[in-house]
Chains A and B, each alone.
Chain A
Amino acid sequence: MSLSLFSSLLVNGLAMGVIYAMLAMGLILLIRAVGILNFAQGDLLMFGAYITAALVLDVELPMYLMVPASLVFFALIGLIFMFTIYWPLRKATYPAATIIATMGASIILKELATIIWGSQPRTMPSLLTTPEGKAAVIRIGNFTLQGQYVLIIVVGAVLMFGVFMLFERLYVGRMMQAACQDPYAANLLGVPTILTISATYIIVATLAGVGGFMVAPIFMVRNTLGTLQLRAFAGVVIGGFGNIKGAIIGSLLVGIVESFSTVGFSGYKDVTVFLLLIIFLLVRPQGLFGEKIADKA
């Protein structure tokens, strides 16, 4: 394999891995903040992609307006999602009920997208373009890297780093975790649970939406973008559940493996990724960074 092919696959893999990682991060945040699996995570990404496509293609906003506008939309979606899917079910005794509600949300998001924007996939232009309008390409030494991929990696990394810092280091993040682990006690301590949970959902929706926006030029905007979440699930498990760091690294790994397996087993690349997952589950169920579940009384 030539070095240039290798580097190209690596960058491609890392870029997709970053997308998966943003989805995975959102998943973990929701699990830790509200304790549910969100099976509509990928559809949040998909919807975000559609929204940015609409802003760029239909409303024709320039970039410096489109970015804040789309962020506003992502936040709105996050809030609506929370109030419709999570809030009525927060006291549910059947945890499966919340999960299935997210499945319903997934269907709703897909159908809304199709109803509003039609069933034809839409093409988003690449964000970095050469003066001729073609997708930008970055040359480092002998290597040629697709501009969009590099952009994904950079933007995604910055965003995830910011969210990670928020949750792990800042007081705000601790408040949110407290609200999740023991909402009653958190309330007594003056933590405004509804605010923290709303904030979590907004962050999650934004992560997904930005992911959608970034991935749109590569995949075309279509309502099946939601299936990307399956790779994120794999990343979460490989990295070790409940662990943001692990989820990110696991997802990056998934992206890279997926990218490299297109050489040789193109049709079977799904198999490679998910077999990797299953092998991981066998050999190291706590994932790369998960803690062994301690003995409890």
Chain B
Amino acid sequence: MMFSATLDSMAFQLDDAQKTTKFAIAQLDSIGSLTWESDAGRAFYEQVVELGSRLQNLNRDLAEAEGYVGSAMREIQALELEILKQKLVP
């Protein structure tokens, strides 16, 4: 129980991180609508695309991590109860 607030705030941080990463991905996508006629310009754009796909992977990892928060809360709660029980037994 004493850890739920901590894990809640961690979930919010992960949620904010995902939203901002998604925003950054959308911004990088917008570079695709610009004109890149030179080789250097196209190479730059390729790197932008690569960065965009890495950020998508990052977002997937963050989403997975956030997905574990609920089960971590349950596990810790069960653990807390168990420890409490042990302490109460003379």
Asked if chains A and B come from one complex, the reply is no
